[in-house]
Structures are given as structure tokens and as C-alpha cells.
Structure 1
Amino acid sequence: MAGFWGKRKREQEELEAQDADLARRARTALVGADERIRVTTDELVFAEAELGVDATKELREALDAVRTHLGEAFHLHQLNHDEIPDTPEELRTRNARIVQLCEWAEDLLDDRTEALAASIERARRAPEIIAKVREDAVRLRTRIPQARETVQRLAARYSAEALAQVEANPAEAEQLLGFAEHSAGIAERRREAGQREQANLALEACAEAARRAATLIDAVETFEVEALRAESTLAAIVEDSREDIAVALREPHTPAVSAAIGDLQAALASLPAAGVNTDPFALLSRLRTANAALDEAIAKARERAARPLPPLEHVRHAIDDGDRQLAVAKDVIAGHRGWIGADARTRLAEAERVRIDLDRYLGTSASAATDIDEDHREQAMAMARRVAFLAGEALQLAQRDIDSSRPQGGPDQWGGGPQQGWGGGRRGGSDLMGGILGGLVIGSILDGFID
């Protein structure tokens, strides 16, 4: 008994310690959340001054919600210290709620202030950003004539289709730089006038325009380098493709290999003569695609040669065998439905599903197909054999169910006598009853006999 009371005392002491810790957490959280509201309120004033009222709407709404819920937390804390005695459970529930409300408030304000952090930082650096945009515009303008010369030089070597992606870049870059400088001036004037929202929009626009202009000018130089690289790669791909064709002609010929050889030969034949402006990127892409298709066709042909395909007549025999076994299983189960269990029915349903999938795979009725191309024979045979296997299992399981459901004492057990059954003959009674039970609902028939 002393041990029991000692255990109860320790448990009570642990619970009191937990409650005391929860109370301390509640007080600390309440003070922290209240201070966070004060700090965030000051941040909101600054953010509104930098970004405008619309940009800070979500932070303002979050502060209003937090103040409302923190009022509930203060009320709960007051109840903990009023003159009305509270039970430990009441104190525990209130303190847990205070901690929950304060943590929610801190998380919400963190989320909203972090969302504005980048915009506030950009607004603070507005003079620096504007100065940088103007410097970039001056520097990039000096590169535009060189970009135009590069485009003209490229036009003498590459086709109009190839140059379409960079031909207009210098003119577009010049327009963007003009827009960037104009937007920078608007950002300055709106900021001086206290129109912070408009100033920030203009600031973002000028920085983005300058960035895009730099990208367009860089793209011209990048195109020249990449085009030269594509030409070098194209020469290597042409040599490799000719070697691949020579190898492919010695491989086992399948329709897919022959078609792939023809496509690669056509791609090689379409290469322009020397001195003609070309699109090295398009030519390289076409050759790579045709080369990869030939590699894939050869790999499949080699795999097929290592594993000979079944002759068409074997595939036809497999389909016919599957259909026959499926038909037998369906007839047996249909004729003895009252005796057939779930296993046999499941195998039959799966066999029928695979048979339907076989027709879909071949794109026509497998039993009526006069020919099956080589690419489909192996899979078709596997599916047909699967149908036969499932149908055979269904038939075995159905026979098991039928055998286990037959009367064990012979045909005389159905009534009548050794010479006279239900049907008037020696075995007529059992045959008739078997047909009835196999084809009709057993319960309703038996009810009729009993009546």
C-alpha cells in the first residue's frame, strides 16, 4: 500500500511540474506576442511609407487579426488570476490555448513580413538601383553596334530561319534600354512626390527592362559561338551516320531497320552543298533524331535475332487454343452457376479480360486476323497462352465446385428409388435435378418442392 501511495504522489508531483512549466510558457508567449505586435506595427508604418497602402494590405490585415486573437489570450490569462478559484484542468486548458494563440500570431506575422522583405529592401535601395540601371544602359548601348555587325556577319553564313532567333535582338535591346531609362526617371519623380507605389512599379520595370536588354545582346554573341559548335558537331555526326548506315546494311534486315536506314539516308541527302547558307541547329537535330532511330531499330533487330519470333501459325494456334478453352470454361460455368464459387468465376473473368486486351493490342479481332506483323507476334502469343491458362484454371476450379456439390449417395439420393427417379428413368432424377440446380436459383426451387 505504501508503494501505491508513493507512486500516486510522484505522478501528482510530475503533473504539477508540467502545469507550472505550461504556465511559464503561456506568460512568456503572451509577452513575446505582444511585443511582436508593437514591432510589426512600426514596420508596417515604414513599409507603407516605402511601398504604399495597397502593397502592405495583407500585413495590415494580419495585424488586425492578431490583435483580435491576442485579446482572447489576455482575457484567458486574466481569468487565471481573478478571485474565482480554478481547477488544475481549467488552468491547464487556458494556458494551452494562450500558447496556441501566441504561436499562431508569431507565425502569421513572420509569414507576412517575410513576404514584404524583398520589396522593402528594393525600395530602400531605390536610388542605388536607378543609378545602376542608368550605368548599365550606357554600357549596353556601346555594345549594340557590335551586335548589329555580328548579325550581318552571321547572315552571310546562316539561313534566315537560323537567324530568326537573334536577328531582331539589337533593335529590341535598344528599345528596352530606352524604356529602362524612361522608367528610371519616373521612379525618381514619383518617389520625390511621395507616390511610393507608382515609384516602386516604375523601379521594377526599369530594372527588368535593363536585364532583358543585356540578355538579348548576350544572345547574339552566344548564337555565333553555338552555331560554330553545331557546325563542328554536324560534321562529326555526318561521318558517324555514314558509318552507321554501312554497319546497318550488314545487320539482320527488318522493316524497322530498313525504314530507319532510309530516313537517315534522306537526312544526309538533304544536307545543303558547300557555300549555301544553312541552319546548323535544324540539320543537327534532324540527323541526331534519324541516327538515334537507326540505333534503336538495330538494337531491336539484334534482340529479335537472338530470340527468334514465333511463326505466324504458332501464334494462330495459341489464339485458337485459348479461345477453345475459354469457350469450354464459359459453357461449364454457365451450365452450373448454382454450384460455381468465387475462385472459378474470378479466373474466368480474368481470362475474358486478357482476351479483350489481346484484340485491343492487335487492333482487330485476334480470331479473325489473317496476319499478325512480327512486332506483335511474341506479345500476342504470350497473351493467348495467358487466356488458355486462366481458362484452364477456371475449368478445374469449376469442376472442383461441381464435384463437391453433387450428392454423395448416387442418383438414388435425389428420391424416387433405384428404378424410378424424378424423371421416370434410372438416372433421370439425378440428371434432371443436376440441370435444375446448375441452371436455376436453388433456393426458389427448393421452396417450391417443400410447399
Structure 2
Amino acid sequence: MAGFWGKRKRDREELEAQDADLARRAQAALVQADERIRVTGDELVFADAELGADATKDLRDALESVKQHLGEAFHLHQLNHDEIPDTAEELRTRNARIVQLCDWAEELLDDRTEALAERIARVRRAPEIIAGVRADAARLRGLLPQTRETLTRLAARYSTEALASIAANPAEADQLLGFAEHSAGVSERRREAGQREQANLALEASTEAVRRAGTLVEAVETFEVEALRAESTLAAVVEDSRGDLVVARQAPQVPAVLEAMRELEAALAALPAAGVNTDPFTLLTQLREANAGLDAAIAAARQREAHPVPDFAHVRNAVDDADRQLAVARDVIAGHRGWIGADARTRLAEAERVRVDLDRFLGTSAAAATSIPEEQREQALAIARRSAFLASEGLQLAQRDIEAYRPQGWGEPGNGAWGQPQAGWGSRGGRGGASDIMGGVLGGLVIGSLLDGMFD
């Protein structure tokens, strides 16, 4: 008993220590959050001066929201120290809410100020950035003559269609560089006039224009390398395609394979002669697609050869078997309603649902269908077998429930139930006619399934 009271005392002391620690954390969080609001207010004034009011709207809205919620935190702290006595639970709840509000305020202000930090740093480096824009523009202008020479050299080897994506790059880059230099000058003038927001917009426009111009110039040089690589790859794909055509002649000569062979042969025949300006990217794409189409057709033909499409008779047998299994399971369950549990009923319901799905899949009643297209037979066969399997499971589960529910001695001679000799059932004793009937039903289904499997 002394141990019990000692444990309760230790638990109470531990809870009191936790409450005291939570109260200290709440007070410290309040002070820190309040100071953070003051510091962020000063940062907002500076950011407004550097970036303009529009750029700092998110931070301003966040600061107002934090002030409002921190007012709630101060009110909760005041309730903890007013003249009205509070329970330990009330104090604990308020202090936890204070900590939550203060943590949220810190996280929100951190997020908003970090979003502006990079832009503010960029503004402070504006003179350096403008100098970099002008230097990059001058460097790229010096590369434009070489870019035009490269384009002329490419035009002698590749078709107009192949060069369409880069033909205007030198002219576009020249225009972008002029825009970048102009925007840099605008940024300087607006900053000197105290128009910070406009100056920042012009600075961003100038840096983006130089970046895009550099991308256009680099794209011309990159095209030459990629075109040479495409030509090399094209030669390898041509050789591979010719080998695939040889292999295809040994594959099953079904219509899909023959059509894919014709398409690949046409793609090979369309390759231009040596010395003709070409588009290696388009030719490579066309040849790869034709090559992949032939590979897919051969694979499908071999798969079909290994697993031929079942004929209509096989599907018909499977449908008949499913209907037969469903009918037997349905009758057995309906004849012993009070004995059958949820498992058997669920299997039967699912078997019937799958059987309905088969009619939907075929678009007609499977039982009345006189033909099924080849492309639907495999799936129809699988659905029918699934329905039959579920019905068979339902019947087996129903048999289990009947065996479990049947009273002790049911079916014995003299009990007035199944298996009485005068009825001719169960003359061997034991469980009598009910078991014999169910055994005959199950045996017939098994034999029927075996016969269908032999035909399949």
C-alpha cells in the first residue's frame, strides 16, 4: 500500500514539474515573439525602401496576422495571472496554446522574410549586377559572328527543316542583348531617381534578357554536336533494322508482323542518298519508331503462338460451367437460408457480379452468344472461369456451414430426418442422404470442371 501512495506522489510531482516547465516556455516564447515582431517591423521599413510596397505585401500581411494572434496569446497569459483561481488543467491548456501561437508566429515571419532576403541582397548588389550584365552582353556580341558562321556551315549539311529551331537564333540574341543593355541603363536611372520598384523590375528584365541571349547562342553550337551524334546513331539503327528484318522473316508471318516489316522497309528506303541535306533527328525518330513497331509485332506474334487464342467452343464451355456452378450454389444456399454464413453468401454474390461483368464485357448475354471475337476470347474465358471458381468456393463454404449447423445424430436411422432407410437414402448409416446428395453435387461439379479442362 505504501508503494502505491508513493507512486502516486511521484506522478503528481512529475506532472507539477512538467507544468512549471511549460509555463516557463510560454513566458519565454511570448517575449521572443514580441521582440521578433518589432525586429520584423524594422526590416519591413527597410524592405519597403529597397523593393517598394508591392514587393513587400506578403510580409506586411503576415506581420498584421501575427500581431492579431499574439494579442490572443497575451490575453491567455493575463488570464493565468488574474485574481480568479485556475485549475492546473486550465493553466496547462492556456500555456500550451501560448507556445503554439508563438511558434506559428516565428515560423510565418521566418518564411516571409526569407522570401525577401534574396531580393534585398540582389538590390544591394545592383551596381555589381548591372556591370555583369554589360560585360556578358559584350562577350555574347563578340560570339555572334562565330555563331552566324556555324549556322552557315550547318546549312550546307542539313535541311532547312532541321535548322528551323535555330535559324533565327543569332538575330534574336542580338535583339535581346540590345534590350538587356537598355534595361540596365533604365535601372540605373530609376534607382538614382529613388524609384526603387521600377529600378528592380528593369534590373530583373536585363538579367533575364542576357540569360536568354546566351541560351540562344549556345543552342547553335549544341545543335552541331547533337546533329553529328544523331547521324552516328542513325547509322547504327539502320544496321540494326536490317538485321531485324532478317529475324522477322523467321517469325510467325501474321498480318501484324508483315505490316510492321513493310513499314520498316519503307523507312529504310526513305533514307536520302549521300550528299543530300538531311534532317537526322526526324530520320532517326521515324526509323526508331518503325524498328520498335516491328519488335513489338514479333513479340506479340510469338506470344500468341505460344498461347493461341481459345476457340469459341472453349469459351462456351467455360460460360456454361460458370452458369451451372452458379445455379447449384444458388439452390443450395437458398435451400438452407438459416444455416449459411456470410462467407458463402459473399462468394456467391461476387460470382454473380463477375458473371454480370462478363455480359457487359461482351455487350450481350454470354449465354446466348453465338460467336465471340478473337480479341475478346481470352478475357471472356478468364472472367467466366473466375465466376465459376467463386461459385464453387461459395458452394464449399455452404457445405461447411451445413455440416457445422446440422444437429448431432441428424441423418441417423430413426431420427425422422434425412437418411432414413424407408426413403432409400443413407442406408449405410452415418450422416445419410444430405451428405450423399452434397457429395454427388460437388463430385458432379468437379467432373464437369475436369471435362471442361480437357476440352480447353
User: Shared topology, TM-score over 0.5?
Assistant: yes
Distance 2:373 2:339 in 1: 37
Distance 1:259 1:58 in 2: 62
Determine if contact 2:26/2:99 at 8 Å carries over to the other structure.
yes
1:321 matches 2:315? no
Where does 1:96-115 land on structure 2 (aligned, <5 Å)?
Answer: 96-115=96-115
Compared CA separation, residues 354 and 83, structure 1 to 2 (3 A): closer
Find the counterpart in structure 1 of residue 373 from structure 2: 372
Compared CA separation, residues 399 and 37, structure 1 to 2 (3 A): closer
Say which SS state the counterpart of residue 275 (structure 1) adopts.
coil
Compared CA separation, residues 370 and 7, structure 1 to 2 (3 A): closer
Distance 1:41 1:399 in 2: 79
Say which SS state the counterpart of residue 309 (structure 1) adopts.
coil
Q: Per-residue deviation at 1:208?
A: 0.9
Distance 1:340 1:310 in 2: 43
The number of residues matched between the two structures is: 409
Distance 1:396 1:89 in 2: 60
Partner amino acid for 1:382? A
Determine if contact 1:147/1:221 at 8 Å carries over to the other structure.
yes
Q: Per-residue deviation at 1:199?
A: 1.3
Distance 2:32 2:100 in 1: 13
Partner amino acid for 1:260? A
Say which SS state the counterpart of residue 294 (structure 1) adopts.
helix
Determine if contact 1:22/1:92 at 8 Å carries over to the other structure.
yes
Partner amino acid for 2:264? L
Determine if contact 2:333/2:398 at 8 Å carries over to the other structure.
no
Determine if contact 2:315/2:380 at 8 Å carries over to the other structure.
no
Partner amino acid for 1:372? P
Say which SS state the counterpart of residue 288 (structure 2) adopts.
helix
Q: Per-residue deviation at 1:81?
A: 4.2
Partner amino acid for 1:59? L
Distance 1:389 1:79 in 2: 70
Partner amino acid for 2:151? V
Find the counterpart in structure 1 of residue 444 from structure 2: none
Measured against aligned partners, the alpha-carbon deviations of 1:68-102 in whole angstroms (never above 9, x if no partner) come to 33233334434444555554444333332322222
Q: Per-residue deviation at 1:325?
A: 2.7
Find the counterpart in structure 2 of residue 445 from structure 1: none
Compute the RMSD of aligned alpha carbons: 3.4
Find the counterpart in structure 2 of residue 64 from structure 1: 64
Partner amino acid for 1:166? I
Comparing 390-399 with 284-293, greater Cα deviation is found at: 390-399
Compared CA separation, residues 201 and 94, structure 1 to 2 (3 A): same
Say which SS state the counterpart of residue 238 (structure 2) adopts.
helix
Q: Per-residue deviation at 1:321?
A: 2.6
Q: Per-residue deviation at 1:167?
A: 1.0
Comparing 275-284 with 239-248, greater Cα deviation is found at: 275-284
Distance 2:11 2:284 in 1: 79
Comparing 76-85 with 191-200, greater Cα deviation is found at: 76-85
Distance 1:396 1:21 in 2: 65
1:225 matches 2:229? no
Distance 1:344 1:88 in 2: 57
Find the counterpart in structure 1 of residue 431 from structure 2: none
Compared CA separation, residues 14 and 355, structure 1 to 2 (3 A): closer
1:206 matches 2:210? no
Q: Per-residue deviation at 1:269?
A: 1.6
Find the counterpart in structure 2 of residue 47 from structure 1: 47
1:164 matches 2:164? yes
Gaps of 5+ in 2: 407-414, 419-456
Say which SS state the counterpart of residue 142 (structure 1) adopts.
helix
Q: Per-residue deviation at 1:345?
A: 6.1
Distance 2:223 2:311 in 1: 54
Comparing 103-112 with 11-20, greater Cα deviation is found at: 11-20
Find the counterpart in structure 1 of residue 27 from structure 2: 27
Determine if contact 2:326/2:351 at 8 Å carries over to the other structure.
no
Where does 1:65-214 land on structure 2 (aligned, <5 Å)?
Answer: 65-82=65-82, 86-214=86-214
Distance 1:400 1:84 in 2: 70
Compared CA separation, residues 12 and 382, structure 1 to 2 (3 A): closer
Gaps of 5+ in 1: 412-451
Find the counterpart in structure 2 of residue 262 from structure 1: 262
Q: Per-residue deviation at 1:155?
A: 1.8
Determine if contact 1:325/1:391 at 8 Å carries over to the other structure.
no
Q: Per-residue deviation at 1:23?
A: 2.0
Distance 2:307 2:229 in 1: 44
Distance 1:155 1:64 in 2: 62
Distance 1:335 1:30 in 2: 72
Distance 1:15 1:334 in 2: 61
Q: Per-residue deviation at 1:330?
A: 9.9
Partner amino acid for 1:108? L
Comparing 21-30 with 219-228, greater Cα deviation is found at: 21-30
Determine if contact 2:136/2:210 at 8 Å carries over to the other structure.
yes
Compared CA separation, residues 152 and 362, structure 1 to 2 (3 A): farther
Determine if contact 2:30/2:74 at 8 Å carries over to the other structure.
yes
Distance 1:332 1:79 in 2: 74
Q: Per-residue deviation at 1:392?
A: 5.4
Partner amino acid for 2:189? R
Distance 2:273 2:364 in 1: 47
Distance 1:320 1:73 in 2: 72
Where does 1:378-393 land on structure 2 (aligned, <5 Å)?
Answer: 378-390=378-390
Q: Per-residue deviation at 1:410?
A: 8.0
Partner amino acid for 1:174? D
Where does 1:261-340 land on structure 2 (aligned, <5 Å)?
Answer: 261-305=261-305, 307-319=306-318, 321-322=320-321, 325=324, 328=327
Compared CA separation, residues 94 and 386, structure 1 to 2 (3 A): closer
- TM-score, normalised via structure 2 length: 0.78
